[in-house]
Structure 1
Amino acid sequence: MTRIAFIGLGIMGSPMAVHLAEAGHTVSGYNRTPDKAQPLVAAGGRAATSIADAVEDAEVVCVMVPDSPDVEAVLAGEGGVFESAAAGTLIVDFSSIRPDVTTALAEQAAARGLRLLDAPVSGGEAGARDAALSIMVGGSADDFEAARPVFDVVGRTVVHVGPSGSGQTVKAANQLIVAANIQALAEAVVFLEAYGVDTKAALEVLGGGLAGSAVLNQKKENMLTRSFEPGFRIELHHKDLGIVTAAAREAGVVAPLGGLVAQLMASARAHGDGGLDHSGLLRGVERLSGRATDTSTTTNEDS
């Protein structure tokens, strides 16, 4: 079994670390909020007191934090992984960040004798909880194979998509597709309700045809019940769509739908919905349609 350090025990990182511990790996977890290490401890892992403490003697270091600056701080910051990990350590960054940041960090890692894979995931909290994530991996093929024992515990669809930064590029495309699907589903729900249709029955039959999707299957109950406890927060999807639009502009690619859903996500965040699940885009459709009935919001910390 492998000695693993897991940095970032939030909505996604906690169940992933727990699965690794339950699979028999030796897991030391660190989170800025110490209480979030309790599920890992209950599963047989250890709560580390710092990043340096977590990575000491680790063969693999896993990172799952919210944004590019967080990954830079964890890896390259004072007392971070680059300073603390032994030469040859394999670093697997499950976070969703800018591809250019990943590429720069991979170069820094290589200069220190470390190996870095970018391995962002899709599937949200449910995928992490069920060990059913899709994992898109950038980096060397040899390092990808070395990390398979980790990937196979937490993921169901695991694909090496190219050199460093490729995983983050594929994840950006994923987030564009997911956001567009959520927005379309939200508009469809409000449209159906406006005509007094049995919306639950309508979504059932739509799910069995070409309109069916993983988004419809996973998010329809949120929308039907107006329950937006976060599996993946609007503020994080807002961040990801910023990556999409910036990367598309840099590549000279026109992404008009990407720009539109990015603005709708930004509007939801500006209205105080950033802490809600991204299915909460429904609230934006209701606001635009003059049908908003509930203005309350919730927040959820994930680090």
Structure 2
Amino acid sequence: MNKASDGIIIGFIGTGVMGNSMAGHLLKAGYPLHLYTRTRSRAETLCEKGAIWEESIADLAGKSNVIITMVGFPDDVNQVYLENGGILENAAPGTLVIDMTTSSPALARKIHQKAVELDIRALDAPVSGGDIGARNATLSIMAGGDRDAFDMAMPILELMGSNIFLQGEAGSGQHTKMVNQIVIASTMMGVCEALAYAEKSGLDPDMVLKSIGGGAAESWSLKNLAPRIIKGDFEPGFYVKHFIKDMKIAIESANEMGLELPGLGLARKLYEKLAASGCENDGTQALYKLVVGRL
């Protein structure tokens, strides 16, 4: 199937743990796909399947009418969109830009405002579901922006996710992702402490999961990450360093609203300790190693 007849040419920036799979779904659906990432080797597999590598953000922006970004940190988002040689400076009027990075709500609003001035449609659309959701195209996608931009983006977003909602104006997608991360922060502490307790008391952790996985303790983290912990698999579906970044954004946003979040504050301290122990590139389930003293 070739989507070129639709007139949609997608540019994708950022092909890391999740971005690679997300871009792959778009390519498989038949869309012409242009790629840019700071480490070209990360895009080689997609290029072998037909994606086109671009030497710069400006080159990619000039050849695409839908641009999706999935980068690491708010500073990266700012650079990719707003600095010299960035997307907004080089994209044509009418282009749709979708930032799927977990970033700052304030930055999302800034990008949207600048995009409107240039007749460019902009969405902030962070995701949840980790590497599993990215591979299976079952990501939850939380969008902020104008309805017309969201409606235009929906056929593309549906190729990457299965739980997709427009939450409100620009920045609302990022605020919703902060809600998601606040839940996960305390949940991951609970999962790690629970498995440590199970181990210490002599229980079979796999049998424990069978008992509690369908009850009130059920959660995505328990279902998907607890089995990895039991196997000693701490490879990243979502990096510790990126989770710390998310928690920092959430705490800063909460402070701006005069809201105190003690559980989130504790989780951030624990994950920062974990990162300082050399685990910043592990998956978030590596918190278990800190809980049981295996660092």
Where on the TM-score scale, by shorter chain, does this alignment land: which range? over 0.9
Does the 8 Å CA contact 1:137/1:144 hold for their aligned counterparts?
A: yes
Query: CA offset at residue 182 of structure 1?
Result: 1.2
Identity %: 36
Q: Residue 264 of structure 2 aligns with which residue?
A: 258
Listed one character per residue, the Cα deviations across residues 106-134 of structure 1 (whole Å, up to 9, x for unaligned) are 11111122111000000011111111100
Q: Residue 16 of structure 1 aligns with which residue?
A: 22
Q: Residue 164 of structure 1 aligns with which residue?
A: 170
Q: Residue 188 of structure 2 aligns with which residue?
A: 182
**Equivalent runs, 1:282-293 vs 2, <5 Å:** 282-287=288-293, 292=294
Secondary structure at the counterpart of residue 282 of structure 1: helix
Q: Residue 58 of structure 1 aligns with which residue?
A: 64
Listed one character per residue, the Cα deviations across residues 205-260 of structure 1 (whole Å, up to 9, x for unaligned) are 11011111111110012210221111101110000000111111110112111111
Secondary structure at the counterpart of residue 159 of structure 2: helix
Listed one character per residue, the Cα deviations across residues 7-34 of structure 1 (whole Å, up to 9, x for unaligned) are 1111111111111011011110111001
Q: Residue 235 of structure 2 aligns with which residue?
A: 229
Secondary structure at the counterpart of residue 203 of structure 2: coil
1:29 maps to 2:35: yes
CA distance in 2: counterparts of 1:206 and 1:137, whole angstroms? 33
CA distance in 2: counterparts of 1:125 and 1:242, whole angstroms? 22
Query: CA offset at residue 91 of structure 1?
Result: 0.3
- For structure 2, the residue ranges without an aligned partner over 5 or more in a row are none
The partner residue of 1:76 within 73, 76, 82 is 82
**Equivalent runs, 1:1-303 vs 2, <5 Å:** 1=3, 2-287=8-293, 292=294, 295=295
Does the 8 Å CA contact 1:57/1:86 hold for their aligned counterparts?
A: no
Does the 8 Å CA contact 1:134/1:155 hold for their aligned counterparts?
A: yes
Question: Where in structure 1 do 4 or more consecutive aligned residues deviate above 6 Å?
Answer: none
CA distance in 2: counterparts of 1:17 and 1:54, whole angstroms? 14
CA distance in 2: counterparts of 1:49 and 1:133, whole angstroms? 29
Does the 8 Å CA contact 1:144/1:160 hold for their aligned counterparts?
A: yes
Query: CA offset at residue 204 of structure 1?
Result: 1.4
CA distance in 1: counterparts of 2:63 and 2:204, whole angstroms? 58
CA distance in 1: counterparts of 2:251 and 2:243, whole angstroms? 12
Query: CA offset at residue 79 of structure 1?
Result: 1.1
CA distance in 2: counterparts of 1:162 and 1:264, whole angstroms? 33
Does the 8 Å CA contact 1:4/1:60 hold for their aligned counterparts?
A: yes
Alignment length (residue pairs)? 289
Secondary structure at the counterpart of residue 15 of structure 1: helix
Secondary structure at the counterpart of residue 56 of structure 1: helix
TM-score (norm 1): 0.93
TM-score (norm 2): 0.96
Amino acid at match of 1:48: E
CA distance in 1: counterparts of 2:222 and 2:262, whole angstroms? 23
CA distance in 2: counterparts of 1:141 and 1:130, whole angstroms? 26
Secondary structure at the counterpart of residue 12 of structure 2: strand
- For structure 1, the residue ranges without an aligned partner over 5 or more in a row are 296-303
CA distance in 2: counterparts of 1:252 and 1:42, whole angstroms? 50
Query: CA offset at residue 57 of structure 1?
Result: 2.9
Query: CA offset at residue 180 of structure 1?
Result: 1.2
Secondary structure at the counterpart of residue 156 of structure 1: strand
CA distance in 1: counterparts of 2:283 and 2:54, whole angstroms? 29
